Structure 1
C-alpha cells in the first residue's frame, strides 16, 4: 500500500487524486491530522487514518502495511521542521516501507540563503541515513507563491519587492502528476531527483508584466530595500522570524538558487509543464491574491 501524508493539503490532495487514476483505491492510504477533511477519499475506498508528525505512536497505525510512504514536507521551518520530518521517516522505516519519498525543493542545500531549503537538505540527509531506499522529489518553487507575493498589486498597480533573480515557478498540479508517476513506477529515481521545474524561470519584473497582461491593468514593479521591506512586514504584524525567512527567498533568488530549468518534469508528466501565465490567469481571475 502507498501511504501519502498531508493528503488534505494543496499538494498532497492532488497527489492522491492522481494516484487514484493509476491504481485501485484499496492500494492507497492517507495519513492526515483531521480524517473528517478526507471524507471524500473514504467514499472512494481510500484508507484514511489519523496521523501527525508530532505523534510517533499514531504514525505507526497510519503507516501500517506501507510499501511506500510519501512524506509531504511540513509548513514549518528550522529545527522543528527537520524534527517532524525525522519522526515521519523513522515511522516509515519502522512500518517496513521499502521506499520513502519526500517532497523536497529544487534549492535544497546546506548553505542556501533560504531556511526552508536548508531544512530540506537536512531532511535529505536523514533519508540517506535511514537505511531505506528513498527518493527526494526536488520540486520547483510553487507558482502559487508567486501569486501570494503579488498580494494586492493587481488592484493597487504597484508591486514593491526586494531585488530578486529568476525563479522556476512550477504549478502544484504538475508536481502532483510527477509525484504520482514516481510512486506508480517504484524505483524510478534513487536519491534526489533533478530539479522538477517548469520550462522557464521568471524575475518579478517579468511576473509583474505577465500579471498586467492577464488582468489588463497596469502594474509597476519597484525594488524595495531589504530592510524597508522587512520593516513593512513587521509593521503589518508579521513575526520578525517569518519576515527574515521571506527575505531569504529573495536572497536565494539573487544567488541563482531557483533559476534552474530542467526537462525531467516534462518527461515525467508526458507534456510541457503549465506556463506561469496560465497559473496567474487561473488565480487572478478568481480574485486569489489580488
Structure 2
C-alpha cells in the first residue's frame, strides 16, 4: 500500500488523483487531519484514516500496512517543522514502511536566508538516519508564488521588487504528477532528487514575459530592501525578502531534466 499525508491539500491531493490513474484505489491510503474532507477519495475506494504529525499514535495507525509513505512538509511558519516531520518519519518506520518520501525544496541547506531551507535540510538528515530507504522530492520554487511577489504590475506596468537572482519557477501541478509517477513506478530514487522547470529566470526575464502577455511594456524596478518592506505587512514582507536574498545567492538557480523525464513531456513554463 502507498499512504499519502496531506491529501486534502493542493499538492498531495493532486498526487493522489494522479496515483489513482496508475494503481488500483485499494492500494492507496491517505492520512488526513479531517477525514470528512477526504470523503471523495473514500467513495472511490481509497483507504482514509485520521492522522497528524501532532498525534503519533493516530499517525502510526494511518500508516499501517504501508510499503511507501509520502510525507508532506509542514507549512506552519510558527511550528518546529523538523520536529513534526520527525514524528511522521518515526511513525512510518514503526509502521514498517520500506520507503519514505518527503516533499522537500530545491537546494535545501542549512546556510540559507530562506527559513524553510534549514527545516528541509534538517528533515532530510533525519530521513538519512532513519534506517529506511528514503527519497526527498526537492521541488522547485512554486510558480504560483510569483503572484505574491510581483505586486500589482497589471495596473501599474511596473514590477517593483528587491534585487533577485535566477529561479527555476516550477508548477506545483507538475511536481504533484511526478510524485505519483515515482510512487507508482519501480525506479528507485535514493536520497534527494531535484524536480524543477527546465530554465531559471530573473525578474528582468519575468518583466519581458509580462510585457508579451499584456501587450504593453512592463518595467522592472529594483527596490531597496527596507523601502520595499515598508510598503507591506512587515512579518510577511520580511519572509518574502528572504526569498529574494536567497535567489541573489543563487540558491534557486538549479535546473534538472528529471521532472521532464518523469512527466514524459516538458514541464509547464511560467504563466502570469
Q: TM-score under structure 1 normalisation?
A: 0.89
What is aligned with 2:76?
76
Could you tell me how far apart the structure 2 residues matched to 1:204 and 1:139 are?
Answer: 20
The 8 Å contact of residues 149 and 240 in structure 2, kept in 1 or not, is answered as: no
Where structure 2 has 5 or more consecutive residues not aligned to the other structure, the ranges are none
Cα distance, 1:153 vs. partner? 2.2
**Which string of whole-angstrom CA distances, capped at 9 and with x for unpartnered residues, describes residues 169-196 of structure 1?**
0111210121111111255211111x21
What is aligned with 2:202?
203
CA 1:259 to 1:3, structure 2 compared with 1: closer, same or farther past 3 Å? same
Report whether the alignment pairs 1:248 with 2:242: yes
**Which string of whole-angstrom CA distances, capped at 9 and with x for unpartnered residues, describes residues 189-234 of structure 1?**
11111x2111111111211221232233543221111111222223
**Greater helix proportion:** 1
What is aligned with 1:259?
253
What does 1:1-290 align with in structure 2 at a 5 Å threshold? 1-77=1-77, 80-186=80-186, 188-193=188-193, 195-234=194-233, 238-239=234-235, 242-276=236-270, 279-280=271-272
Matched residue SS, 2:138: strand
The 8 Å contact of residues 104 and 138 in structure 1, kept in 2 or not, is answered as: yes
Q: TM-score under structure 2 normalisation?
A: 0.95
Q: Which runs of 4+ in 1 moved over 4 A?
A: none
Where structure 1 has 5 or more consecutive residues not aligned to the other structure, the ranges are 281-290
The 8 Å contact of residues 151 and 160 in structure 2, kept in 1 or not, is answered as: no
CA 1:105 to 1:87, structure 2 compared with 1: closer, same or farther past 3 Å? same
Aligned length: 272
**Which string of whole-angstrom CA distances, capped at 9 and with x for unpartnered residues, describes residues 79-123 of structure 1?**
611111111111111111010000111120111221111111010
